[in-house]
Amino acid sequence: MLLAGTSYGLVTPLVKMAIAHGIPVTKLTVSQYPVSIILLWLGALGTKKPVPVAKARKTEIAYMALLGVIGAAASLSYYHSLAFVPGAVGIVLLFQFAWILPVINGLIRRQWPKKHEQLAIAIIVIGTVFAAGPAKWHFPLWAVGLGLMAATLYALSLLLSGQIVGQLSAWQRASISTSVSFVVVLLAGQPWQTPHELFSLKIWAWGTVIGLFSLTIPLIAIYVSAPTLPPALTGILAAWELPVAVILSSLWLRESVDLSRWFGILLILGGIAFSSVVPALVANPTRRYQPHPIYPQTKSE
């Protein structure tokens, strides 16, 4: 799981570097999918006794298609936001999913955050104020809106992912949702309108590298490790993405990250850790942990 968080943390500075090299956001988004889709489908075909996709429940396929659409929209929103905001600010905006998720859950299921979750949300919001440094903003507010939209879509995808119960393996589900995402970004990017860019080695090189760190490596790491880890530890390790992205943005992009921003980042991480650890502490320590609800095991795994 630590590998997944580190891999996701590399995405933000890599996208900023690709944009700095003159690669359009839509083309970058399109080019990250092909190699990753091939690798994921190879993994799906290698699953022991896989259930044929044609025999899967239609509701399960529909869920995966919906997740694919949401994932594509989240990527497009986040990458367009990164074209205008610093990488350190972009990742902080994306991490607002930590409090958006329980809010969406409350609106949909009427299951409102518990007291310790409310306290964690307050800590995260306060941390965001320090981490984003609003007094130093020199970028359009609509770009901030896109970052928050990406966070909302990401939170929604996590919520829906926890509802999937079916016969398909995790590899098959990832392959289907990623393939649908590819179709969506193709329609959004319309690469056929600029055919000369289809043969640009620079675009495909950057896209492939970003796709490996944003799709292939983290999905493989998550599907292998998350079902075997306690939920508290899963959430904490996943949060490793935030400091990795900020540190690399500072080192690779020469972005200024002062002490107030580091204080905010620590508050955000503390809020996430607090919300993850408290349920584990109040639970019976002798009980066996169940698979993480976001990454459930299936009969075929």
Q: What is the pLDDT of residues 213-240, one digit of tens each?
A: 988 888 777 766 655 655 555 556 667 7
How high is the pLDDT of residue 250?
A: 84
How high is the pLDDT of residue 87?
A: 86
Which of 158, 155, 287, 124 minimizes the C-alpha distance to 226?
Answer: 158
Termini Cα distance of the chain: 18
How high is the pLDDT of residue 185?
A: 92
Enumerate residues 6+ apart whose C-beta is below 8 A from 97.
151, 152, 154, 155, 158
The one-letter code for the residue type at 232 is: A
Question: What distance in Å separates the CA atoms of residue 244 and residue 95, rounded to the nearest whole number?
Answer: 13
How high is the pLDDT of residue 165?
A: 62
Express each pLDDT in 72-94 by its tens digit.
Answer: 999 999 999 999 988 888 888 88
How high is the pLDDT of residue 301?
A: 40
Question: What distance in Å separates the CA atoms of residue 208 and residue 234, rounded to the nearest whole number?
Answer: 27
The one-letter code for the residue type at 129 is: V
Task: Specify whether the CB–CB gap between 4 and 222 falls below 8 A.
Answer: yes
Which of 171, 187, 10 minimizes the C-alpha distance to 91?
Answer: 10
**Residue in the block written with tokens 């580091």:** 262
How high is the pLDDT of residue 207?
A: 92
Instruction: Name the E strands within 85-233.
Output: none
Using 50 as the pLDDT threshold, list the residues of the chain that sit under it: 286-301
For 284, list phi and psi in degrees, rounded to 5.
-65, 115
How high is the pLDDT of residue 164?
A: 63
Task: Specify whether the CB–CB gap between 94 and 151 falls below 8 A.
Answer: yes
**pTM for the whole thing?**
0.81
Quote the DSSP letter at residue 226: G
**Residue in the block written with tokens 């190699």:** 35
How high is the pLDDT of residue 273?
A: 78
